[in-house]
Amino acid sequence: MRSLLDLLDQPEILSILFSLIAILVVVSLYRQFLSPWTATSKRELVLPPSPPKLPIIGNLHKVGSQPHRSLYSLAQQHGSLMLLHFGHVPVLVVSSSGGAREIMKTHDLTFANRPKVSNTEKLLYDGKDVSQAPYGEYWRQMRSISVLHLLSSKRVHSYCAVRQEEMALAIQRIENLCSSALPVNLSEVFSTVTNDIICRVALGRKYSEGTKFQKLLSEFGELLGVINIGDYIPWLAWISHVNGWNSRTDRVAKELDSFFDGVVDEHIDRYEKGCHDINVGIKTEEDQRDFVDVLLEIQRENTVGFPIDRVSIKAIILDMFAAGTDTTYTVLEWAMTELLRHPEIMKELQKEIRHVAGDKSDVSEDDLDEMHYLKAVIKETLRLHTPIPLLVPRISTKDVKINGYDIAQGTRVLINAWAIGRDPSSWERPEDFFPERFLNSSIDFKGHHFELIPFGSGRRICPGIQFAMKINELFLANLVHKFDWSLPGGANDKDLDMSESFGITIHRKSPLIAIGTPCFCH
Ligand code: HEM
């Protein structure tokens, strides 16, 4: 003690001590008032559990090529609300129905925005479409135009004839193959039918370059699923140049853009020539125009209160294809896969459909209301094979507390709907394909039951649910009504390859090939 007092007597030592105290005061004031967390000091923040991270890349190495599966495994160890870091970017991963409710219901407004990533900026016209548009007036107007003129129940009902015609053509193609005892590439049939229906109602006609367009769309879906390292670690952005992702993204964006330019020009030409009635797509009593005609009219008459340019028109049409084709046909693909793996469920479904349809050779849309087992099969498919397993990412627009955890403004949110669909606290025998679970249950997929959210929920819920479901129900019903199905070469149904593709929408990695035998029971 004595020697300490002696030391304090020396003026140099005293001045060093005062400087140290001053530094400590400044640092603690900074931490209190100027650190990024303004409301609370970092010490008091309660953050969700996080797996250990590596320097620079954070947890990116844990994501892998099947993010819904790797994030599911991580959540088993770290919990259903888990904070990861992709490079320097915080990412909240939600894997429980309760957490999803917090994000998409309790705090829906806070999470109503989408994060900006370079792939979607390039591929989706820099957020001028509906799905990536920032939450606000532009998004509201674009979404309501799409709903009013394409996706509302009334509109969807008015395309009934288009669906029936396209389904009849597809069934005819299958019958031709079956009569020559040839296997049917069901994946291709499903994708063509969905694409043709959307083409006819949105663009007014089918396009002969349809196959090329379909290929482009599937490449587009794959690119949307790519994690671009530069979005998370900007100084590593050069990697996407070297590995070719950037040039591939640019090429796909350019080719799709020139396709849609052609479509818009064709519609403008037709309007200028005064041929409003040569539309071969939809013929409803009240309106013979297709969706592009409607968008061009809105542009000409400036009815939304702000100018809509050509880019907005192309973006909104692309959205309908991008969001509507792959997602819809993959449900058919996985439903038929599961039915082929479970012949007893296939038989039960055929029994219901053949009972309701009676002697009729085709199932009509009016028959569908009575087909409860069919609806259960589709729900079970959406639960186990959620088409967009991580939904479409959201971002928090302000600091918020979720289940007691502090979530900072700018945190990206991935909702693992695929994991929620197999959460044992919500589902018995979660890994089994068991449609009966829905027969006496009120659980639906329209965004109110957070155990089953394949279409999301809240303000940004998918507006295409009815559009997709009508196609899926009608086509699946007719397919199993008209044919008995088996695997080629007498393969065992349990051997069916179940590998998943890579991308934002998860479909089968290998196409679904099956043998159809026409059923003459009607
Ligand atoms: C089985 C078929 C489909 C599935 C599983 C599906 C799924 C989804 C999901 C998960 C979202 C994000 C929802 C959220 O953030 O909460 C979404 C958004 C969207 N979907 Fe779908 N979708 C399907 C069919 C369709 C169809 C047929 C269309 C139109 C033709 C469509 C148009 C859109 C649009 C425009 C958005 C963006 C909505 C917004 O951000 O406001 N979808 N969809």
- Three-class DSSP category at 274: coil
What single-letter amino acid sits at 64?
A: G
Is the CB of 421 inside a 6 Å radius of any atom of ligand 1?
no
Q: Report CA(263)–ligand 1 centroid distance (Å).
A: 23
Contact call for residues 476 and 332 (beta carbons, < 8 A): yes
Is the CB of 455 inside a 6 Å radius of any atom of ligand 1?
yes
Residue having the nearest C-alpha atom to atom 16 of ligand 1: 456
**Which residues are annotated binding-site positions?**
462
Closest CA relative to residue 228, chosen from 63, 47, 451:
63
Q: Report CA(147)–ligand 1 centroid distance (Å).
A: 12
Cα 77 from chain centroid? 26
Residue having the nearest C-alpha atom to atom 12 of ligand 1: 392
Residue having the nearest C-alpha atom to atom 40 of ligand 1: 131
By the 10 Å C-beta count (0-12 exposed, 13-18 middle, 19+ buried), 359 is classed as exposed
Is the CB of 388 inside a 6 Å radius of any atom of ligand 1?
yes
d(CA 329, CA 191): 5
Q: Report CA(495)–ligand 1 centroid distance (Å).
A: 32
pLDDT given at position 32: 44
Q: What CATH superfamily is the domain 60-518?
A: Cytochrome P450 (1.10.630.10)
Minimum-distance ligand 1 atom for the alpha carbon of 458: 16
Is the CB of 99 inside a 6 Å radius of any atom of ligand 1?
no
Q: Report CA(151)–ligand 1 centroid distance (Å).
A: 11
User: For a pocket test of ligand 1, which of 129, 156, 462, 472 has the largest count of ligand atoms closer than 8 A to its C-beta?
Assistant: 462
DSSP state of 22: H
Give per-residue pLDDT as tens, 256-313. Answer: 999 999 999 999 999 888 765 444 444 444 456 899 999 999 999 887 777 889 999 9
Give per-residue pLDDT as tens, 164-216. Answer: 999 999 999 999 998 888 999 999 999 999 999 999 999 998 876 667 788 88
Q: What is the largest CA-CA distance in the chain?
A: 109
Q: Report CA(463)–ligand 1 centroid distance (Å).
A: 6
Is the CB of 328 inside a 6 Å radius of any atom of ligand 1?
yes
Q: Report CA(477)–ligand 1 centroid distance (Å).
A: 23
Is the CB of 447 inside a 6 Å radius of any atom of ligand 1?
no
User: For a pocket test of ligand 1, which of 455, 473, 504 has the largest count of ligand atoms closer than 8 A to its C-beta?
Assistant: 455
> What are the residues whose beta carbons fall under 8 Å from the beta carbon of 268, sequence distance 6 or more?
296
Residue having the nearest C-alpha atom to atom 20 of ligand 1: 462
Is the CB of 415 inside a 6 Å radius of any atom of ligand 1?
no
Minimum-distance ligand 1 atom for the alpha carbon of 388: 10
Q: In whole angstroms, how far apart are CA 396 and each of 88, 91, 270, 411, 492?
A: 16, 10, 45, 5, 48
Q: Is the pTM of this model over 0.80?
A: yes
Per-residue pLDDT of the chain (522 residues; tens, 9 = 90+): 334 444 445 555 445 445 544 544 444 444 444 444 444 455 589 999 999 999 999 999 999 889 999 999 999 999 999 999 999 999 999 999 999 999 999 999 999 999 999 988 999 999 999 999 999 999 999 999 999 999 999 999 999 999 999 999 999 999 999 888 899 999 999 999 999 999 999 999 887 666 778 888 888 988 988 888 999 999 999 999 998 999 999 999 999 999 999 999 999 999 888 765 444 444 444 456 899 999 999 999 887 777 889 999 999 999 998 889 999 999 999 999 999 999 999 999 999 999 999 888 899 999 999 999 999 999 999 999 999 999 999 999 999 999 999 999 999 999 999 999 999 999 999 999 999 999 999 999 999 999 999 999 999 999 999 999 999 999 999 999 999 999 998 777 777 899 998 888 999 999 999 999 998 766
Is the CB of 321 inside a 6 Å radius of any atom of ligand 1?
no
ipTM: 0.99
Is the CB of 456 inside a 6 Å radius of any atom of ligand 1?
yes
Is the CB of 75 inside a 6 Å radius of any atom of ligand 1?
no
Residue having the nearest C-alpha atom to atom 31 of ligand 1: 464
**Which residues are annotated binding-site positions for heme?**
462
Is the CB of 155 inside a 6 Å radius of any atom of ligand 1?
no
Tokens read off for 298: 């809105």
Question: For residues 385-420, b (16+ Cβ closer than 10 Å) or e, as one string?
Answer: bbbbbbbbbbbbbebbebbebbbbeebbbbbbbbbb
Percentages of the chain per state (helix, strand, coil), in multiples of 5:
55, 10, 35
pLDDT given at position 285: 40
Contact call for residues 145 and 477 (beta carbons, < 8 A): no
Q: Report CA(116)–ligand 1 centroid distance (Å).
A: 18
Question: For residues 462-493, b (16+ Cβ closer than 10 Å) or e, as one string?
Answer: bbbbbbbbbbbbbbbbbbbbbbebbbeeeeee
Is the CB of 334 inside a 6 Å radius of any atom of ligand 1?
no
pLDDT given at position 10: 55
Q: In sequence order, what DSSP letters do the residues of 432-445 get, joined into one string?
A: S--GGGGTT----S
Question: Position of tokens 């087909």?
Answer: 371
HSE, side-chain direction, 13 A CA sphere, residue 158? 22
Domain ranges, ordered by start, for the chain? 60-518
